Chain A
Amino acid sequence: MELRSIQMTIAVSFTVVSVCIMCFLVLTLYGQFSRRIEDQYVENSAQLLNQTAINLEGHLRNMRWISDAMYYSVIKDKDLAVQSMDDEMNLLYEANKDNLVSIACYTNDGSLTAAAPIATVKADVDVTTHRWFQDAVGQLENFHFSTPHVQNLFDDPSYRYYWVVSLSRTVELNHNGETSLGVLLVDMNYSSIERILKKANEDASAEYVYLMDQDGEIIYHPKQDQIYAGISSENNLAALSYEDETVQESFEGEKRLVTVKTVSYTGWKLVSVVPMEVYSMGMESTRYLVIILVILALLATVLLNQLVSARIAKPLKKLNASVEEWEAGNLHPDIYVGGSTEVMHLGNTLRSTVEQIQQLMQDIVVEQEEKRKSELDALQSQINPHFLYNTLDSIVWMITGEKYEEAVFMVTQLASLFRVSLSQGKTVIRIEDELRHAQNYMNIQKIRYKNVFQADFDIEPGILGYCTVKLILQPLLENAIYYGMEYMDGEGKIRVNGYRKGDDIFLEVQDNGPGIPQEEASRLLTEENRERKRGSGVGLINVHSRIQLRFGPQYGLQIESCPDEGTTVTIHIPAIPYTEENQRQLEEGKRK
């Protein structure tokens, strides 16, 4: 994986930055949203409590009004010694019986004065022992609200029982002008209070509202029966110590927000409980939505970053591929030019650089070729007069000695040799012509050296039509004659072999001369400034270089020599058929 590629670097950098920014934003916004929701819950709880308190206070005010009406409009106006309050009491009861269980008036010793609805008083019931009576007695003008209890006053043969909240107060009873104290009891139906609080608990969430008295005793709780049965419990005693405020508390391992509101007239406390898990449950869908949005945004970011980085990196990659192709040895790479302005500029610059280098290399090749050519021309111009002088001298002696046929042969060979040497100025000629030139040369030399050596040519006819560099055999034959045959005294043998092997052609010049050590033979092809003792001065290295210049570095000469056994010099060239096109390309150095 190209972890350090430019595309990867851009993609990863952009992605990391995007993710960090996104996470920061999401966390910040989510935190603010959570706080807002929590505030909303607190506000809703407070509103709910206020509304419930208003409803409850309204109900209690109504009960107080009933009590006031009974006391100030009925009891105070009646002389109980001669008048009954039953009618007014019944009227009041009938008007409010949805919320009332009973209205009753007792004397201070617990005797019933009047009651509505009319019912049989339970035997053996002593109201003075009842809490509502004890709270009220002797405290004029004060109202007392009891906690819910089962009414224990009247006999109901239908076996029914009533949960009530008792509102009791001390009243003055008039008997023949004498005033005595008594207790007026208004038993409110508990179900009225229950109804108000049930309404506050209608929401199906875990949030709930309960009511307790000033001593912390529960008046209403949505799980009241469960609390009474010991199945559930409530932190009501702790809530008793709270002012009218919102408090965070922990109860039975559960964190919750508790808001308290005191109800007027009674000192009762309404308590709203919101378990903290309600927030998280309320936030659940929001949380999922946030996660979905974040993932979608991340997906989009990753893909977009991928596209952007690919778009930026693609031209650079193509340019890099061009450079790699160039590095791999392709001297004519197709340099990519495209992409952004900067990359296009780089491509153009690189392409121009490559073209300049190509031009420079071509110039160097041409220059080298020219140099070789001029060297060769210079050498040839040096050897030709010397060779020509010796040959002409031999011809003069032949004519003088009346050996006219030999002289004619000599002249003919010389003419042929020069014709091949000229070759219309070509450097690359057929192997056939090169061999003819070599044979002409050997025929002349054999006559000059009076046949002290034999020269044999064993050439595969098939190779005659292939290309070779001009005048590469003659210097080898010259070397073989000068260094191998001079002292052979008629036993010298020079053999020229020509054959094809695969796609290559080999021309060997073997002599049975004295030979040289192999180390020295190796140096013949490497030491440029080696001093030549005799001959034309065209060294083996010159021939070797010319071959390589035309056909490439894998071609050239190989020398094998062993002292006292002779020397074999092998010309290794490619098998290129001699055509005008091939000849022209080789001449121009365009084919290797």
Chain B
Amino acid sequence: MTGKRLWIGLIVTAMVAILVYVSYGMINVGKKETYHSVAVVLGDSSHDRWNAFKEGLEQGAEENHIHLNVVFTGVFQNQEEECAAIRRELENGAEGIIVQMTAEESPELFEKTVGETPTVLIENDMGLEDEYTTVAANQSEVGVAVAQSVLSGESGDIQGLRVGVLAGNQEMHSQRVCLESFLDAMEGSEAKIVWIRSEEEWDRDISAGLLAGDAEADVVVALDNNATECAIAFLQDNSDVSWRIYGEGRSEKAIYYLDKGSVRALVVPGGFYMGYKSAELMAQKLKLKTSGEKKGRAETHVDFLTVTRENLYDKNVEKILYPIAG
């Protein structure tokens, strides 16, 4: 009798256990995924060059259950300022950081600031590509692509071509790599690099009026979006200057002047893809952290297009260049 009661007891216990398990499952049906809060720190975040990136970021975040907080920022003056913004976000409960480091005086400061927080670097790997997940165009290839656009754009008239280089923010590792590869790619040509100015030097020389006598160049190569816009602005402001601009960038202004003919070619990184991938990789890192695993590292290279006035309205180009949601 005891054995029989034990048997019945076991069946009833098993059924009750299944009941509890299924009830738990039923309660959890439709329970929304936990959203993670991620801060996005970009230099001059409201600039329209980030539009495609933000659109990709938002779509990636939505699909990967991330709540985004794109920090409203201006142009960072130094790394301490940028790290302070990151610190503030972490103190406010950010679980992950997607950041474009515009200055890198002290990688240690950055490492200390983010600590074990899941971090995705965009555009600039700070030379720490072995330690942090990075989503960026291959700057080495971008430099080469810009050089090729100059060589093909000026075909037949390279000999004695005077080239000025607006090298952008040379405090950024990515920009240094880009400049280096550009110069390497140009080295064999008959074109002559007449000047190279970093963003800081450009601003300083413009303020000091030192550029006028030094502006003689046939072609100006701008290695980032800001540099391209600076070159366009200089061209607009100085009617006697007749630069042909080749550059890297994707702001509406840069594209407009490409359409107008002031810019001869633009190397445009896939901003939407970069944003989407950043969110996706961040979600993976957050998942790894939740499961107690060590931070995973990945490097994703973003494709880029070389756009000229001729192919600007090609179907495949306009799809990348003009985000529909924008």
Contact = CB atoms under 8 A, between A and B. Distances in A.
Interface of A: 1-2, 5, 7-8, 122, 124, 148-150, 152, 155-156, 159-161, 163, 190, 194, 223-226, 228-231, 284-285, 288-289, 291-292, 295-296, 298-299, 302-303, 306
B18 interface: yes
B7 A225 contact: no
Interface of B: 1, 3-4, 7-8, 11-12, 15-16, 18-19, 22-23, 25-26, 29-30, 48, 55-56, 59, 252-253, 255-256, 259-261, 270, 272-273, 276, 313, 315, 318-320, 322-325
Given A160-B252, A295-B19, 14 more contacts: A2-B4, A7-B4, A155-B260, A159-B255, A225-B55, A225-B59, A225-B324, A229-B272, A229-B276, A285-B26, A292-B26, A296-B19, A299-B16, A302-B11
Contact of B4 (A8, A284, A303): A8
Contact of B324 (A122, A124, A194): A194
A272 B7 CA distance: 53
Contacts of A299: 12, 15-16, 19
Contacts of B256: 156, 159
Given A8-B4, A160-B252, A284 B12 contact: no
Nearest to A217: B315
A163 B321 CA distance: 12
Contacts of B29: 284-285, 288
Kindly name the residue among A163, A231, A284 whose own CB sees the greatest number of chain B CB atoms within 10 A.
A231
Contacts, number: 90
Contacts of A1: 3-4, 7
Nearest to A222: B59
Question: Which 8 A-B residue pairings sit nearest by Cβ, starting from the closest?
Answer: A288-B26, A1-B3, A159-B252, A228-B319, A159-B256, A285-B29, A229-B273, A150-B318
Given A159-B255, A229-B273, A229-B320, A295 B4 contact: no
8 contacts: A1-B4, A2-B3, A149-B315, A228-B320, A229-B270, A288-B25, A302-B12, A306-B8
Contacts of B276: 226, 229, 231
Contacts of A8: 4
A285 B30 contact: yes
Contact of A295 (B22, B252, B315): B22
A148 B324 contact: yes
Contacts of A163: 322, 324
A2 B1 contact: yes
Nearest to B30: A285
Given A284-B29, A285-B30, A289-B26, A295 B320 contact: no
A341 B59 CA distance: 77
Nearest to B325: A225
B284 to A, nearest CB: 15
Most chain B beta carbons < 10 A, residue from A2, A229, A230: A229
Nearest to B302: A229
Nearest to A163: B324
A207 to B, nearest CB: 16
B313 A149 contact: yes
A228 B315 CA distance: 10
B44 to A, nearest CB: 16
Contacts of A302: 8, 11-12, 15
Nearest to A284: B29
Contacts of A229: 56, 270, 272-273, 276, 320
